[in-house]
Amino acid sequence: MSRAHEDILSAPTPAAWVDAAVERWPELLLDHAACEKKAASTALALMFSYPEDRPLSAALARLAREELRHFERVQALLHSLGVPCERRKPGRYAAGLRAALRTTDPGRKLDLLLAAALIEARSAERFRLLAPRLPGELGRLYAQLERAEARHFERYVQFARLEAEADWRARLRALAAREAELATAPDTELRFHSGAPVLHANNSLQANPQGGLRLPGRVTRA
Ligand SMILES: [Fe+2]
Ligand SMILES: [Fe+2]
């Protein structure tokens, strides 16, 4: 599979994030469910913002449906693995990235498309890193989602190119630098798009509220 989406990321995901995510998979899966909902709502928000762009609306309507199907699959898995649903406050990533975007057009539409592309690229990268380390249905789902999110990255980039053929590449690089900071700098929260996990004084990660849950099959350690 082409990994053009990973080439655009300014920094890879820290190994410590992958270790923490494998260890604390129930929390990650809960946050992942929220990310799928957010991906659908981001697509819908773009459709509302730019109704005159019919090809974009048509593509995003399909994309939003796909993200909602991802959400349904994650919800079903949460249920079958016995992870209780709970409200979680979002991490810093989406808000931090949004703060770097231009607030008016011209420029706003390009930035929204590129930010969505970067989020899809980071998601695909993390699914690739997690899939071989998680057993059973969870590992299989993540391998499938890597391909889907990489395709979504391509789609958003196609529309960004149509929007600003001369400028999209430089702007993508600028936003990728900010995205990489958010995805790699020390972070006290563990989320699907969080940075390097901060160890606490006792050298452990934050308390894991679902620490008692076990995945069927073996979790692979690095
Ligand atoms: Fe998705
Ligand atoms: Fe996606």
Q: 170 alpha carbon to ligand 2 midpoint, in Å? A: 23
Please report whether residue 52 resides in a domain.
yes
Please report whether residue 96 resides in a domain.
no
Can you name the residues that pair with 197 across neighbouring β-strands?
187
Residues with CB under 5 A from ligand 2 (ion): 39, 120, 149, 152
Range 62-78 average pLDDT: 98
Sign (positive/negative) of CA torsion 46, 51, 53, 54? positive
CB 203: neighbour CB atoms within 10 A?
6
Ligand nearest to the CA of 32: 1
Please report whether residue 118 resides in a domain.
yes
Q: 116 alpha carbon to ligand 2 midpoint, in Å? A: 9
Q: Is residue 207 very low, low, confident or very high in pLDDT (cuts 50, 70, 90)?
A: very low
Q: 53 alpha carbon to ligand 1 midpoint, in Å? A: 23
Domain that holds residue 169: 11-86+102-183
Please report whether residue 151 resides in a domain.
yes
Please report whether residue 55 resides in a domain.
yes
46: tokens are 């773009």
Q: 121 alpha carbon to ligand 2 midpoint, in Å? A: 9
Global pTM? 0.93
CATH number of the domain residue 117 falls in:
1.20.1260.10
Crossing angle (nearest 10°) for helices 108-130 and 15-23? 70
CB 106: neighbour CB atoms within 10 A?
10
pLDDT tens digits, one per residue of 128-159: 999 999 989 999 999 999 999 999 999 999 99
Q: Tokens 């940075």 identify what position?
A: 195
Q: How many domains does the chain have?
A: 1
